[in-house]
Amino acid sequence: MGIILIGERINGSFKDVGRAIQEHDKTVIKDRVAKQEAGGADYLDVNMGAASRKLEDYAWLVQAVAESTALPLSLDCPRADMFRVGLKAYRDTVGERSVILNSTTAEDSKLIPLLELAKEFNASIMGVVMDERGSPQDVDRRLELGGKIFAAAVEAGLAPADIFLDPIVMPVKFMQDQPKNVLNAIQQMTMLSDPPCHISIGLSNVSSKTEERKLINRTFMVMALAVGLDTAILDVCDEELRQSVATAELLLGMEIYSDAFLKAYRQRAGSGTAAAAA
């Protein structure tokens, strides 16, 4: 129930996290984990960024995150061998817990090995609608590639609930016609199957290099939720963004109304940690 929020903050591209990865400093990681738990994250994305390319660093990072939270992870890697190392570290640390492999494109050379990994480790996948020709600009191509990934995943034995499709958000500053195309694609992707798969975006891309990042992020988030988005990788510590998501859940009838719905949303945010402690 509710929107699935994937916290974006464990990413080596952030200076503090990058340094923590290089120095194997768990305190910084634990702090980022705790803040995103308090922010109501449902998953934590784990991405090394440019901080390191070493497999053992990724295994260290996954273990450091997994052992400090009860939340499931989204393993965000550029390569299949890194996914395997991350998955092994994850399973060794937490046993059976949900996990998303983030991500594959529609190219067979990436898609097929990742689906095999997903089956082997009982994982979900994030499929990004691009292929060897690059990122699509129009709606139809997004749907075509989304459909290909979905069909291949189902063929491989994944349930729709284990499939996340990402229609690729592009910066409004440089490609102003793209946000609208993404919204159209989301709306049509909801009709791919019944029960539906998840549809996810990397929200912060939309506001890249703009001066009003938070405003653009939360406005686009609400627009996307209205057409059927149910998952996003975003900054869960952005209070106004979270309040907009909570309000959208209410207006879309996903949550039963109560006068104190913002209070309830904040209580819910802490509950993952509370459940883990209990």
Residues in contact with another protein by CB under 8 A are 1-2, 255-260, 263-264, 267-268, 271
In the complex with another protein, which residue's Cβ is closer, 215 or 276? Answer: 276
Least spacing, CB of residue 259 vs another protein, in Å: 5
Nearer to another protein, 57 or 230 (CB): 230
Q: How far is the CB of 278 from another protein (least distance, A)?
A: 9
193 by Cβ neighbours in 10 Å (0-12 / 13-18 / 19+) ranks as middle
Distance (Å, rounded) from C-alpha 152 to C-alpha 155? 5
Residue with tokens 């890194």: 82
Taking the complex as a whole, how short is the minimal distance between the CB of residue 120 and another protein, in angstroms? Answer: 24
Is the Cβ of residue 96 or residue 259 nearer to another protein in the bound state? 259
**DSSP H/E element including 125:** strand 124-128
Output the smallest distance, CB 273 to another protein, in A. 14
Find out whether 237 and 9 touch, Cβ atoms under 8 Å: yes
Residue written as tokens 């402690």?
Answer: 277
151 or 274, CB closer to another protein? Answer: 274
Task: Please provide the distance, in angstroms rounded to a whole number, between the alpha carbons at the two ends of the chain.
Answer: 22
Q: Is the CB of 50 or the CB of 278 nearer to another protein?
A: 278
Following CA atoms 214, 19, 104, 86 in sequence, which dihedral angle do they give, to the nearest 10 degrees? -130
Smallest gap from Cβ 29 to another protein, in A, equals 28
